[in-house]
Structure 1
Amino acid sequence: MTETSSASQRDLWTRVRARLKAAVGEDVFTSWFARLELEELVDDMVHLSAPTRFLCSWVQSNYSDRIVEAFRHDVPEAARLQVTLRVNGQARPRLAPAPAVAAAAAETVEEAPAKAASQHAALEPAPVARLVREAQKGDALAGSAIDSRMTFDTFVSGEANEMAFGVAKQIANAAINNTVTFNPVYIHSTVGLGKSHLLNAIAHAVSQADATKNIVYLTADHFMYHFITAVQRQSALGFKEWLRKVDLLLIDDMQFLQGKSATEFGHTLGALLTGAKQVVVAGDAPPRDLEMLDERVRSRLSGGLVVPISTFDMDLRRAIVQRRADQATQRFGMHFPPAVLDYVARAVTSHGRDLDGAVNRLVAANQLTGELITVPLAEKTLADLIRARDAKRVRIEDILKIVSRHYKVPRNELLSARRSRDVVRPRQIAMYLAKALTSRSLPEIGRRFGGRDHTTVLHSVRKVEQMIKDDLELGQEIELLKRMLEE
C-alpha cells in the first residue's frame, strides 16, 4: 500500500471517516464508526481498532465491505478489514479473521483473569462469565462488559444528579435483598452526565454482594446485535429465554434501539415486569420522546420511575474537577491550585466527560513540558475544548418543542400526515430549522419527521427559503425561533 507515514495515514483516515459519515449519516456514524482508529495498512489488509469487543465484532460483521470500499478511493489495493480490540490506547496485534461472535467470546474468556487481576478493567459477574464460557460451545449470549471504575464510590453527586444517585443505590440494595422497589426505572439526560456510570455502579454493587445474581448489562447496540444474530441463527427463542431469566436487566443508550429489536425489547420488558424482575433503562430523552418504541412500551417506561439528570451547576462541576485533580495528585504527585480548578469548572460547562478530559490534558501538559499547572497553562491547553463547546448543539427534538409551542400545534401533529394549513406551515418551518441548525442529512430529518422522504424535506426547505424572501415578517419570526433555539 502507498500510505505509510503516520501523517499520511492520519490524513487518509480523516478522508475515509468523512466518506463514511456522508454515506451513512451522522447518527449511524456516531454509533458505529466514531470510536474506530486506523492502526496500520499491510498488503491488502486494513487494520482498525475499537475500544470494546462488541464494537469490534459488530463492525467486522456488518460494515467490512463498506469500510473497505471507502478506503479504495485512496488505496485501490485495499481488500480486507480486520478490527481488533484497543486496550489502554494500544491495539492488539492483528488477528486472523474468525466468526465475530465466537472470536469476541474467546477473547473475553482468555483476557478476563488477567484484566481483573492487573488492570481493574471490565468486570465480568459470575453469571455473565458462565454465559461466555457457554458461548464457546455455540451460544453467543453475553452481556456488555461492566466498567469496574464506575462505582458508587467514584460517582460525584450534586443537586443535578442526587435523585438519580439515590434511586440507583436504592435499586442496588433492593436487588441484593431480593426485592424490587421502583420498576421499571428510566434515567435520562443529555450525553456525559453520568447515566452509564450509574448503570455500571448498580451492576457492580449487586454482583459484588451476590455473585449468584444473574445480571445483564447491555448497551442498546449490543441488544440489537444479540437479537439480529439470534434471528440469523434461528435461535431467537433462546435469546428471549436468556433475557427473561435475568434477575436484573440494565439497558443503556436506549435512543439507539431501532427496528424489530425495539419491538423485542417491548416484549422482554413486559415479561420481566410481569415476573417482578428489576429493569433499569437509560436514554438521552424522556420515554415519550423515544419515537422508535411503540406507544405501549413508552407507556410502560413512563409508568415506572422516570428520573432526569439535569445540566451540572457550577458547584457540581467544581466537585468533579476537584475529585479528578485529587486522583491525579495521588497518582503523579502534582499540584492543582484552587484557581485552576475554579477556571476549569467555570470554563468547561458541557458535561462530565469534558471535565475529565480537561484534567487529563493538564496532567499531560505538566508531564510533557514540565510547566507548573497554572491558569495561563489551562487557558492555552483547553482553548480548543472551550471553543468547541461554545455553540449550543441544537437537536431536532428541541426544534419540535419550540415550533410546537410557538405555533400551538401538538408535537404529534407535526409528525403526522395531516395536510391542513395550520399544521403544514409549522412543519415546513421545523424542517427548515432542522436543516439550518443541525448537521442532520435530509434523509435523517425525514425519518425524524414521521418517516418522510428526503424530497419532502428538500421541498419544505426551499419553500420556507422562498417565503422568507417574500415575507419580511415571517423572516423575522424565524430568526426569533433560531435565537430561542441557540440560547
Structure 2
Amino acid sequence: MERTCEQVWEKCLNIIRDIVEWQPYKTWFEPIKPVKLETNVLTIQVPSQFFYEYLEEHYIGLLGKTIKRELGKEARLEYRIVVENGNTTQRPVTVNMPMHFSKPAPGNELDFPLVINTNPVNPFVIPGLKRVQIDPQLNPNYTFDSYIEGDCNRVARRAGKTVAEKPGSTSFNPLVIYGGVGLGKTHLGQAIGNAVKEQHPHKAVLYVSAEKFINQFIDSGKRSEINDFIHFYQLIDVLIIDDIQFFARAEKTQEAFFAIFNHLHQSGKQLVLTSDKPPKDLEGLQERLLSRFRWGLSADLQIPDFETRMEILDTKMKADGLEMPREVVKYVAYNIQSNIRELEGALISLLAQSSLNKKDIDLDLARKVLKSFVKTSSKEITISSIQKMVCDYFSVPYDKVLQKTRKREIVQARQITMFLAKQFTKNSLKTIGEHFGGRDHTTVIHSCQTVKDLMDTDNAFKESVSELQQKVQLAAM
C-alpha cells in the first residue's frame, strides 16, 4: 500500500519527538505541514523564510536522518515556504526550496557522524557501564549555598540557578561563564551540576576540564575509537566543560566538540562552558564554534568587592567551624583583593601559622602571614586618600568637595573628610584647610565639631562615619 505524505511525516515526527524537547518541538515542528510525496522526495510547508533557515541551521542533521530512515538512502526533503505578497485580499504565495542536507551550509558541516551508539565506551569508568552510571565528576562541596552572591557575580549565579532548575529549556543554552583566575568559574559550573543532580536525578550530568577532554580525544584516536568518544558525550543531558580556551591548540578536538555540541543543543540538552575570556575574545577557535557559543548567555565574573569578600570569609569559617577576631577578618578581606582563591589561601595560611606556632590569631600574626600575599603591610594615609574613600562612599564627585557650594551632600562629605583627616593623619588644621580650597583652621574645627554633634543625634549618620573610620583603619594596616 502506497503511503501518503502525511503518514511519512507522522513517522518522522514520532522519531523527532523522542529526541527534541517539548518546547522546541512545539515551536519548530508542530507548524510544519506535509504537502507532497513523490517517490523519495517529501515536500513540507513552513510558515516563513526565517523558519526555513532556522531548521536548516539547527535541525538539518536530525531531519536528514529521519527522512532517510523512512524513505531510504536517496531520500530528499524539500520546503515550501509561505511568502506574504503584501496584498491582504490574496492568499500568500509559496516558494519551493530544496533541503541542503547533501551539502550543508558553510559552518554547519559535520566532520563526525551524528548516529548514536547507545552503549559507547565510557572514558570515566570501566567499559560497559550504562548511561545512568556515568560518574558526574562533581565536587559535592561546590554548591550554590557556598557560592556567595554579590554585584561581581549576580548575573552568572542567577543564570546558573535558572539553568539548574530547567536544564536545556531556557534561552541560556549554552551558558558561558567567563572571568579571571580564581574568581569562581569552576565552583559555579560544578554548583550547576550538583543542583541538577539534586533536582533532576534521572539526568546524566558530567563535568570535565577542557584539558581532560582533549586528552581523552587523543587517546581515543590512538585506539581508533573516536566515534565511541563522540557517542559517549552525546548521551549527556548536562555537559559542563571548564576552561574552553584550551581548545585553541586542538583543531581536531574542536571538530569533535562541534559534532557533540550540535547534537546536544539540537536535542534540547544543556551546555555550560567556562572560559577566561568572553567568546568574542577567544582566539584560535573555529568561527562556527564561537558563533554557537554566542547563541545563549555569556555572563562574567568580576573581582568581589569588600563586603562580598567579608561574606566569603565568614561562610568559609562557618563551614570549617572556625573563629577569628573581626578586625583580622576585615584586615584579610581588605588586603586580599585579587581573587577568591587567594582570599581563601590567605585564611588557610593564617590558620596554619596559628596552629603550628601555637599563637592566637591577631593583627600582628595576620600582618606577618599576609606579607606573601600583599606587596606592603602598611600604607600611608593621606588627606587625598581619605577624600577619595568618602567621595566613593557617598557617590560624590571628587572635585566638587573642593569647590564652594552649599549643597548638603557636598558640605557633609567635606566635613566628614576633614574630621577623618584630623583623626588619621598628622597634618595640621591649617594644612587640612588649605587642601580644601584654602579654607582656614577655624573651618576645620567647625566641621569636626559638626560631625561629632551629628554622630550624637543621628544614628544613620553615625553608622556611616563609623564605617568610613573602619575603612580608613583597614587602609592604614
The TM-score, its normalising length taken from structure 2, stands at: 0.50
Are 1:206 and 2:196 an aligned pair?
Answer: yes
1:170 and 1:272 map into 2 onto residues whose CA distance is 18
Structure with higher helix content: 1
CA-to-partner distance for each residue in 1:92-122, whole Å, 9 max, x for gaps?
Answer: xxxxxxxxxxxxxxxxxxxxxxxxxxxxxxx
Counterpart of 1:173 (choices 152, 157, 165) is 165
2:120 and 2:375 map into 1 onto residues whose CA distance is 43
Counterpart of 2:172 (choices 182, 198, 210) is 182
CA contact (8 A) 1:215 1:246 kept: yes
* C-alpha deviation, 1:136, in angstroms: 7.0
2:233 and 2:122 map into 1 onto residues whose CA distance is 14
CA-to-partner distance for each residue in 1:326-355, whole Å, 9 max, x for gaps?
Answer: 334x2x5xx311111111111111111111
SS of 1:382's equivalent in the other structure is helix
2:220 and 2:376 map into 1 onto residues whose CA distance is 41
Aligned to 1:354: 342
C-alpha distance 129-153 of structure 1, shift in aligned 2 (>3 A) = farther
SS of 1:193's equivalent in the other structure is coil
1:219 and 1:180 map into 2 onto residues whose CA distance is 24
SS of 1:306's equivalent in the other structure is strand
Aligned to 1:370: 358
Aligned to 2:383: none
Letter in 2 for 1:190: G
SS of 1:251's equivalent in the other structure is strand
Letter in 2 for 1:157: E
Aligned to 1:325: 317
For structure 2, the 5+ residue unaligned runs are: 1-118, 379-477
2:360 and 2:284 map into 1 onto residues whose CA distance is 50
C-alpha distance 210-134 of structure 1, shift in aligned 2 (>3 A) = farther
1:318 and 1:292 map into 2 onto residues whose CA distance is 38
RMSD in angstroms over aligned alpha carbons? Answer: 3.0
C-alpha distance 364-164 of structure 1, shift in aligned 2 (>3 A) = same
Q: Among all aligned residue pairs of Structure 1 and Structure 2, give the percentage whose two residues are the same amino acid.
A: 30
Counterpart of 2:267 (choices 256, 275, 290) is 275
CA contact (8 A) 1:143 1:218 kept: no
* C-alpha deviation, 1:266, in angstroms: 2.2
Are 1:302 and 2:294 an aligned pair?
Answer: yes
C-alpha distance 212-219 of structure 1, shift in aligned 2 (>3 A) = same
SS of 1:182's equivalent in the other structure is coil
Are 1:160 and 2:152 an aligned pair?
Answer: yes
The TM-score, its normalising length taken from structure 1, stands at: 0.49
Aligned to 1:253: 243
CA contact (8 A) 1:188 1:308 kept: yes
* C-alpha deviation, 1:194, in angstroms: 0.8
1:389 and 1:254 map into 2 onto residues whose CA distance is 37
* C-alpha deviation, 1:181, in angstroms: 4.0
Are 1:219 and 2:218 an aligned pair?
Answer: no
CA contact (8 A) 1:143 1:217 kept: no
Aligned to 1:266: 258
RCO higher in structure (CA 8 A, sep ≥6): 2
* C-alpha deviation, 1:132, in angstroms: 4.8
1:272 and 1:170 map into 2 onto residues whose CA distance is 18
Counterpart of 2:181 (choices 174, 188, 191) is 191
1:110-129 alignment runs, 5 A limit: none
Aligned to 1:52: none
SS of 1:147's equivalent in the other structure is coil
Aligned to 2:21: none
CA contact (8 A) 1:131 1:142 kept: no
CA contact (8 A) 1:128 1:214 kept: no
* C-alpha deviation, 1:318, in angstroms: 1.5
1:283 and 1:336 map into 2 onto residues whose CA distance is 35
1:173 and 1:241 map into 2 onto residues whose CA distance is 26
SS of 2:190's equivalent in the other structure is helix
CA contact (8 A) 2:121 2:127 kept: no
1:129 and 1:149 map into 2 onto residues whose CA distance is 29
C-alpha distance 371-253 of structure 1, shift in aligned 2 (>3 A) = same
* C-alpha deviation, 1:242, in angstroms: 1.2
